[in-house]
Amino acid sequence: MAAVVALAQTPVRLESRVDTKGAGEAVITNLKSSPLTAYLLQVYLEPCSPTQRSPAVFRGFDAALSGEPLPQAHSRTENLGAAFCNKDGVSVPAKAELRAAVFQDGSFWGDAQWVNSLLNNRRFQLQQFNIVLDRLKAHDAGTMPLETVMEDLKKQLERTGRRNTLSFPPLLDVSELVSANLKNGITPTISLFERLRSRLLEARPDIR
C-alpha cells in the first residue's frame, strides 16, 4: 500500500508506504540532476489519546557525514515505525513530511528553519570532530590506557551535546564511532576523523 505525496516544485519525491509488519516507511527519490546529499523528515506518530500531542520525531540523512549522495532517479528508504497504543495489537503506521533537502551543488529546498537545521548539524558535528582530534593528538593520549582516553572524550562530547539546540539528535553518533574505532588504536582513529573532517568541510554549501 503506497501513496505518493505531491510536493509542488519539490526536487525530491516522498512516497509513504506500509511494510509487511504494519510499520510506516518513507521512500525518498531524488528528481534533480545534482545528487541529494542531505534531507530532513518530520515523522508523525498517532498519539495514543486524543488529549495527547503528537510527538516531534525527525529522521535525517547527510552524506557529508556518512554514506553516499543519492543520484538523480535513485531512492533511499527510511523506516518510520508505528504507534502502538495497546489497542488489542492494532498499530498505526507512521507518516512523514519532507522538511528540507540539500544537494551536492550547494542548492537546497525547504523553509530556512529546516535547511539551517541541517547546516547547523554539520557545524555541530564539525565541532565534535575537532574535539576528538584535539584529544587524540594531545601529548598524553599515547601514554594513557585507551579506556581512559575514551572516558575523557565521552565527557567532553556530553558537555558539548548539552549545548546542542537542534530539534533532533546529531545525525552521526560521534561517541559511538570513536568507541568502535579506538580499539584499533589512536593513529587509525585520528586518520578516520581527519578524513571525516575534510569531507565535511568540502561539502556544499560552505558551513564556515
CA dist., res. 68 & res. 65, Å (int): 9
Domain extent at residue 129: 113-202
Domain count, the chain: 2
130 and 53 belong to one structural domain: no
In this prediction, residue 56 carries a pLDDT of 73
The answer to whether 27 touches 65, Cβ cutoff 8 Å, is: no
User: Would you say residue 1 has pLDDT above 80?
Assistant: no
User: Would you say residue 5 has pLDDT above 50?
Assistant: no
CA dist., res. 110 & res. 133, Å (int): 33
- 13 found inside a domain: yes
83 and 136 belong to one structural domain: no
Mean pLDDT score across all residues of the chain = 88
185 and 131 belong to one structural domain: yes
Which residues contact residue 37 at a Cβ distance below 8 angstroms, ignoring those fewer than 6 apart?
62, 63, 64, 69, 70, 102, 103, 104, 203
In this prediction, residue 129 carries a pLDDT of 98
42 and 138 belong to one structural domain: no
| 44-57 pLDDT per residue, tens | 877 666 666 766 78
In this prediction, residue 22 carries a pLDDT of 72
In this prediction, residue 85 carries a pLDDT of 65
- Most distant CA atoms of the chain, gap in Å: 60
Check which CATH number belongs to the domain holding 18 and give it: 2.60.40
| 91-134 pLDDT per residue, tens | 667 788 999 999 999 999 999 999 999 999 999 999 999 999 99
132 and 173 belong to one structural domain: yes
- With cut-offs at 50, 70 and 90, classify the pLDDT of residue 8: very low
CA dist., res. 24 & res. 2, Å (int): 10
| % of the chain beyond a pLDDT of 90 | 67
Which residues contact residue 139 at a Cβ distance below 8 angstroms, ignoring those fewer than 6 apart?
none
In this prediction, residue 120 carries a pLDDT of 96
| Averaged pLDDT, 31-42 | 96
CA dist., res. 154 & res. 132, Å (int): 9
The answer to whether 99 touches 41, Cβ cutoff 8 Å, is: yes
The answer to whether 142 touches 124, Cβ cutoff 8 Å, is: no
| Averaged pLDDT, 164-172 | 92
DSSP 89-151: TEEEE-EEEEEEEEETTS-EEE-HHHHHHHHHHHHHHHHHHHHHHHHHTSTTGGGS-HHHHHH
- pTM here is 0.86
120 and 31 belong to one structural domain: no
Identify the domain boundary among 110, 137, 155. Answer: 110
CA dist., res. 6 & res. 16, Å (int): 11
DSSP-derived pairing of the beta strands 36-44 and 57-62: antiparallel
- 16 found inside a domain: yes
In this prediction, residue 2 carries a pLDDT of 44
65 and 126 belong to one structural domain: no
- 208 found inside a domain: no
- 207 found inside a domain: no
- With cut-offs at 50, 70 and 90, classify the pLDDT of residue 6: very low
In this prediction, residue 137 carries a pLDDT of 96
122 and 104 belong to one structural domain: no
User: Would you say residue 17 has pLDDT above 90?
Assistant: no
* Residues, the chain: 208
Q: Is 47 left (phi over 0), alpha (psi -120 to 50) or beta?
A: beta
